[in-house]
Amino acid sequence: LIEGELEIGQISGLIKTIKPAAEIVKEIIDEFESVQSQLHQY
């Protein structure tokens, strides 16, 4: 690279497990639904 820098792998040390994309999406949806139900209580 002539101007700039190539930043690759900075967070690779934080990765503890490799999950299928479907599992990650399910976790995000489950967390969203949990937070959403808590907000409806107010």
Say what the pLDDT of residue 7 is. 82
- pTM of the predicted structure, to 2 decimals: 0.61
Would you state the pLDDT for residue 10? 87
Q: Is 5 left (phi over 0), alpha (psi -120 to 50) or beta?
A: beta
Q: Give residue 20's pLDDT.
A: 98
User: Which has the higher per-residue pLDDT, 12 or 20?
Assistant: 20
DSSP states of 1-42 as a string?
A: --SS-----TTGGG------HHHHHHHHHHHHHHHHHHHTT-
Sign of the dihedral defined by the CA atoms of residues 3, 14, 32, 26, in that order = positive
Mean pLDDT for the stretch of residues 4-24: 90
Rounded Cα distance between 5 and 15, Å, is: 23
